[in-house]
Structure 1
Amino acid sequence: MADFSPVELLELFQRAQNQFTDRVDAVGSDQWEDESLPGWTVADLVAHLVSEALWVPPLLAGEPYAEGRFPEDTTDLLGTDPFTGWETAADGALSAFAEDDALMRTVHLSRGPTPATQYILEMTADLTVHAWDLAHATGGDTELDGELVTAALVFAEQLPEDGVPGLFDPPLDVSAAAPPQVRLLARFGRKAT
């Protein structure tokens, strides 16, 4: 893993949250049921990231991942105002990561113990790729923050060559000379258009 300091990781995570927040704020009231990914609506995509953000505080507090802790239903996760639902969960995640020794901890994910520095980098990559997914689905700004793309590529390079079933799609073939954003999206099974 590239050497990111805890301060750099926290800053990247906050920027990734802000980038995603801008895309959520731009979703039109008639776009929430549009398809964002195969089998997912725009609302489902935002709810997925709400769920991930809700998990940050308990995981950093040392609690293990356990099914059923938070609602799984999109409507329950987003409530009546999806933007506020996202912002509330995002604020809680950022506050948890910003605690004094949070990035020195180990979190217990479903796949096993993971250093918090790896966890925040994974979350940053997920937010970055899903910001593109959301913008792509809603006709928004699909240009991603270049530094976030670079950080997300650091995480992406650690993934198995065939992806991670149920978490990350297998990569698409692209030229090593392709722009970083194109390579990042391809690494997560997306074709930049």
Structure 2
Amino acid sequence: MTDTADARALVPGAVDRVTARVRAVDAATWAAPTPCTEWSVGDLVAHLCLEHLWAPHVLVGTTMDVVGDRYEGDLLQGDPRGAWERALARSRPAWPATDTHAALVHTSFGWIPVEEYAEQMLLDLTVHEWDLARGAGQDEELDPVGVDRALAYVQSDPIMLTGAGLWSPPVTPRSAEPRDVLLALLGRPV
């Protein structure tokens, strides 16, 4: 059983679930729209690639200035699956290596505890897994442990809902199920 006291332990499983979904996208679906209104399925995968190219740097305490613009440009290069595989090849093994993580990490929110960064990444992976599933016409069920953890985090940190335009405005959930509540809080009409 996975230790859920630290969100870092949950990120590899979330990466694996997204990976399975990326691998299942057929060629005709990369241009399909997602609930992220400005992103196609391919654009969403590019966003996830960017997050996971940065993750190994962030986890060891490298600042955004030092990483610079090395991940600017077309990350997919016509191969969304390959781009995701390359991004996760460095990111996924970095998460369980907790003894190498900096106590504080540098993000667009400034310096935060590494455990908080993991909460943010788990939230991002969980919600974007659903976005990817919806856009690609896949089964939309999500891991209940990831959903519960992401929901608890977003409800405890209002900046995640109101700051920096990260998410669409909340909508009314279709049910009181944690998945539906999480998605509705982040503007996803289920």
TM-score interval, normalised by the smaller of the two chains: 0.7 to 0.9
Give the TM-score, by structure 1 length. Answer: 0.86
Q: Which amino acid in structure 1 is aligned with residue 155 of structure 2? A: E
Residue aligning to 2:147: 149
- How do residues 43-192 of structure 1 correspond to structure 2 at under 5 angstroms? 43-66=42-65, 68-73=68-73, 76-103=74-101, 105-160=103-158, 163-174=162-173, 178-192=176-190
Residue aligning to 1:39: 38
Contact 1:27/1:138 (8 A) holds in 2: yes
Worse-superposed segment, 11-20 or 98-107: 98-107
RMSD: 2.2
Give the distance between the partners of 1:171 and 1:160, measured in 2 at CA.
Answer: 12
Q: CA, structure 1 residues 70+172, in 2 after alignment: closer, same or farther (shift >3 Å)?
A: farther
Once the two structures are superposed, residues 56-112 of structure 1 have per-residue CA deviations (whole angstroms, 9 ceiling, x without a partner) of 111122221248523333xx2123421121122123112222224245621111221
List runs of 5+ in structure 1 lacking aligned partners: none
Q: CA, structure 1 residues 91+5, in 2 after alignment: closer, same or farther (shift >3 Å)?
A: farther
List runs of 5+ in structure 2 lacking aligned partners: none
SS state at 2:112 partner = strand
Give the distance between the partners of 1:107 and 1:19, measured in 2 at CA.
Answer: 25
Contact 1:103/1:117 (8 A) holds in 2: no
Q: CA, structure 1 residues 141+79, in 2 after alignment: closer, same or farther (shift >3 Å)?
A: same
Give the TM-score, by structure 2 length. Answer: 0.87
